[in-house]
Amino acid sequence: MLTAATLAILIVMFMAICRVVVGPTLYDRILAVNMFGTKTVLLISLLGFVMGRPEFLDIAIVYSLINFISVIAVLRYSDSSIFHHSKQQK
Partner 1 sequence: MLLAFLVAVALAIVSMKDLFSVIMLSGIYGLLSASFFVAMDAVDVAFTEAAVGAGISTLLMLVAITMTGRSEDPDRHKPFLALAVVVVTGGLLIYGTFDMPAFGSAQAPIHQQVVPRYIQHSMEEIGVPNIVTSVLASYRGFDTFGEVVVIFTAGMGVLALLSVARRPEDIAEIDSLNDSMHEQHLILRIVSKMLLPFILLFALYVQFHGDYGPGGGFQAGVIFAAAIILYAMLFGMSTARRVINQSFIQLLAAAGVLLYGSVGIVSLLEGKNFLDYGVLSDDPVAGQHLGILLIELGVGITVASVMVIIFFNFAGRRENAHSGEENEMQNNNRGNNKT
Partner 2 sequence: MDTLIETSSFLFLLIGSFLCISGGVGILKFPDFYTRMHAVGVTETLATAMILIGLMLQNPDALVLLKLLFILLLTLLIGPTASHALAQAAIKNGLKPELHKK
| Chain positions contacting partner 2, by CB under 8 A | 1-2, 4-5, 8-9, 11-12, 15-16, 18-19, 25, 27-28, 30-32, 34-35, 38-39, 41-42, 45-46, 49, 54, 57-58, 60-61, 64-65, 67-68, 71-72, 75, 78-79, 83
Q: Which of 9, 85, 88, 10 is nearest to 26 (CA)?
A: 85
- 30 Rama class: left (phi>0) / alpha (psi -120 to 50) / beta: alpha
Interaction partner, residue 3 (partner 2, partner 1, none; CB < 5-8 Å by kind)? none
Residues numbered 32-51 forming contacts with partner 1, rule: CB under 8 A: 33, 36-37, 40, 43-44, 47-48, 51
Q: Which of 23, 1, 70 is nearest to 9 (CA)?
A: 1
- Alpha-carbon span 56 to 39, nearest angstrom: 15
Interaction partner, residue 1 (partner 2, partner 1, none; CB < 5-8 Å by kind)? partner 2
Query: According to the binding rule CB under 8 A, does residue 27 interact with partner 1?
Result: no
- Alpha-carbon span 37 to 18, nearest angstrom: 14
